[in-house]
Structure 1
Amino acid sequence: MNQDNNNEKNAVAKSFLAAMSSSEFWEVVQKCKRFDDPADGQENKLAKLQPQQVAAFKWHLENFVCAAYSWDMWGAAYMLRSGCSEDSFMNFLYGLVSQGKRRYEKAVHNPDSLAELWGQPDISSEDYCYVPRRVYAEMTGQEIPDNCWIVPGTLTGEYFSDTPIDAMCDELLARTQF
């Protein structure tokens, strides 16, 4: 049964990767950044694609969010935002992806690098999650396929609390009021 599930996931991944590579995904994200609100840019750019590409964009988006789903990243979001619920953290991750490949990869590798966002407007973007769904529905009259939605698993890394958070993100801690 588990092998069948893995085979199905691999088939889904292949179909989405055939429609849009991860490089193409990041190109679209980069073009969206030219707009004041990346979600507005996303809607503009996705409307020019084929429905399967929009679904593939959503699939990539969810995979990158899941890859960043860690306690260290949550700790960084918590410090940047002076608190962070689970929903708020997910919106933060969507916003992080909307910032582009370079910032995303830098933050995933070292969440403390998000200190460069200190004092800037919040990057969180709930809309970035839902735009592909809306655009796909407008194009096809149908809901985006269920296999585009990926639910993050268990947070990776070690649980943070206010006490050991200073060991996670030194630069961010230096800029906060903890």
Structure 2
Amino acid sequence: MSVMELREWWGLIEEARAACGSSAGDRDSADDPLPGEVLSRVAALPPSSIVAFGRCFSSVFDSAFLAPLWAAAYLIEGGCGDDGFMDFRAGLMLQGRSAFDAAVAAPDSLADLPVVQRMATTGKGWLGCEAMLYVARTAYTRSTGSPSGYDEALATRSPTRPSPARGERWDLEDDEQMRLHLPRLAALFLS
């Protein structure tokens, strides 16, 4: 069984971002090249490394299951349910490690992302990326011809995702609470 270090996992994301150039942070394009670039890089790995990528993905993904980050997603997206928050966290990974780590530590830092600023001024775009949720499984299927080995390998993974989301909660419909907890994002998204 292959083990992938977080440094290596983030390295794959950063390499894909570099290959996409200025399009890497642009989640607004229907033909966004970044998810496909990540998929190509992961599919080139041996199957055991693809499984390791999937495990690492789950760990990073679960680390962002935080109520304050969900509140930020709610504000940015104009509402955000369970599926939307999954897409949001997956898309946040594609912004790169420094943006991801900053958002996990302080969700209001999302106000610094150009894609978020563009969303605030134009009302267009998104940060989420559903395709990223399926990269490892799709890459494994491309590599081996079947997803069954991937599914079996990940079925043994013990769930680490907390429920409910960790961290401080507040009323997401209360603009004053949003301004108090996420002042920079509130300044961008609340009138």
Give me the TM-score of the superposition, normalised by structure 2.
0.78
Cα distance in 2 between the residues matched to 1:95 and 1:148: 23
Cα distance in 2 between the residues matched to 1:99 and 1:148: 26
Cα distance in 1 between the residues matched to 2:132 and 2:87: 8
User: Could you say which residue in structure 2 is the equivalent of 1:76?
Assistant: 72
Percent sequence identity over matched residues? 25
1:43 aligned onto 2:39:
yes
Residue from 105, 111, 122 that aligns with 2:126: 122
Q: Is the 8 A contact 1:118 1:175 kept in 2?
A: yes
Structure-to-structure mapping, 1:127-166, within 5 angstroms: 127-140=131-144, 141-143=146-148, 144=150, 145=153, 146-147=155-156, 150=159, 152-154=161-163, 155-161=165-171, 162-163=173-174, 164-166=177-179
**Residues 151 and 76 of structure 1: is their aligned pair in 2 closer, same or farther, counting only changes over 3 Å?**
same
Q: Is the 8 A contact 1:73 1:108 kept in 2?
A: yes
Structure 1 unpaired stretches of 5+: 1-14
Cα distance in 1 between the residues matched to 2:158 and 2:132: 13
Number of aligned positions between the proteins: 162
**Residues 150 and 42 of structure 1: is their aligned pair in 2 closer, same or farther, counting only changes over 3 Å?**
farther
Cα distance in 1 between the residues matched to 2:189 and 2:55: 35
Task: Tell which deviates more after alignment, 162-171 or 64-73.
Answer: 162-171
Q: Is the 8 A contact 1:63 1:150 kept in 2?
A: no
Cα distance in 2 between the residues matched to 1:60 and 1:105: 15
Structure 2 unpaired stretches of 5+: 21-31, 120-124
CA RMSD in angstroms comes to 1.8
Structure-to-structure mapping, 1:5-154, within 5 angstroms: 18-33=2-17, 34-35=19-20, 36-116=32-112, 117-120=116-119, 121-140=125-144, 141-143=146-148, 144=150, 145=153, 146-147=155-156, 150=159, 152-154=161-163
- The Cα offsets for residues 5-37 of structure 1, whole Å up to 9 and x where unpaired, read as xxxxxxxxxx5xx53211100000111223343
